[in-house]
Amino acid sequence: FLPFLDSTFGATGDFGKASDSSATIKDSTTNATKKAALKSFSQDRLPQTLLGKNIITIFFENSTRTLSSFECAIKNLGGAVTRLDVSRSSTTKGETISDTAANLNAMSPDAIIIRHQSSGAPVHLKKSVSCPIINGGDGAHAHPTQALLDLLTLKQCFGENLEGKKIGIVGDIKSSRVANSNIELLSRYGVDLTLIAPPHFLGNHNLKSTHNLKEALQDLDAIISLRTQTERHSKQNYGSLKDYAHDFCLTRNLIGDKDIVIMHPGPVHHNIDIEDELLKDSRCKVLKQVRNGVAVRMAVMEFFIL
């Protein structure tokens, strides 16, 4: 779906630096046709494979990228979205999530996309519904579509074969569903992973790990930075975020002119996860990840519904 997205929406910023097929499409598109494409966005330029399908989104945890990009993805393919506003739903009256899901299922949606603060919630709800349940992030457990869009971004940067690529994940790995899903998916592609974190953020993974970011960076082809998931900490067993940033923030100083791909799932804590200056650097692929999220979620919706 990337060529469709590029020729339909045009692209700016680090999007333009991709070494993927979409770059070719963009380069060969004149300004006039770009303008026309922007004007006439859409439906008739994209396969309307989800026409007549209705998908329900229920997000019990806040979201910017995942919710919007799922909804854009569905609409791009002609589908309809019904978003349950959890704060105004009967969950506030004590309805269980199984009952909520069973009731929504009775309305015959083609899929339900859920985000929940409890690990395992989507699997648990499978018993209550007959349609596909798609995981938009469950507790500290998994965020499968984030891992898929990260994989796509890495493939665009390095080519199809990621075998042996050295990729670091730095930050609050223990509480991060993004880290879990990336560890699972990238390992399947033969990526050489290094986890970089203070001991209390490391978690139980059977992988190389270090707390020396500077040293680890020397060897890496890409680094994925993560937000500190304070909402999942029962107690603060570390100093301030400023102390954390002192050792684990990605800065221009640390990175220098190294050829490296910098990624982050968002939301970014400025100057704690990544220094502001570096966010503007062409090596930083944060917005490219976001754009890829729409294409990946279009593919995911087709996979589950068609």
Contacts with ligand ASP, residue ranges (CB under 6 A) = 137, 143, 177-178, 227, 265-266
Of 214, 216, 143, give the one whose Cα is nearest residue 175: 143
**Under DSSP, is residue 113 helix (H, G, I), strand (E, B) or coil?**
strand
State how beta strands 54-59 and 208-210 pair. unpaired
Rank residues 76 and 289 by Cβ distance to ligand ASP and give the closer one: 289
Q: How far is the CB of 87 from ligand ASP (least distance, A)?
A: 18
Measured from each CB, the residue nearest to ligand ASP is 227
Nearer to ligand ASP, 10 or 137 (CB): 137
Nearest distance, CB of residue 31 and ligand ASP, angstroms: 34
Question: In the bound complex, what is the minimum distance in angstroms from residue 57's beta carbon to ligand ASP?
Answer: 14
The nearest distance, CB 11 to ligand ASP, in angstroms, is 22
Closest CB to ligand ASP among residues 131, 178: 178
Residue pair 49/43 in contact by the 8 Å Cβ criterion: no
Strand partners, 114: 58, 135
DSSP letter string over 147-170?
A: HHHHHHHHHHHH-S--TT-EEEEE
Smallest distance, Å, CB 177 to ligand ASP? 5
Q: Closer CB to ligand ASP, residue 46 or residue 147?
A: 147
Output the smallest distance, CB 221 to ligand ASP, in A. 22
Using the minimum distance from each CB to ligand ASP, give the nearer residue, 10 or 136: 136
* Dihedral angle of Cα 288, 293, 298, 299, to the nearest 10 degrees: 90
C-beta of residue 171 within 8 angstroms of C-beta of residue 228? yes
Q: Which is nearer to ligand ASP, 8 or 175 (CB)?
A: 175
**Residue 188 Cα distances to 159, 160, 182, angstroms:** 16, 13, 10
Residue 11's alpha-carbon distances to 40, 52, 70, 76, 156, in angstroms, are 15, 29, 19, 16, 16
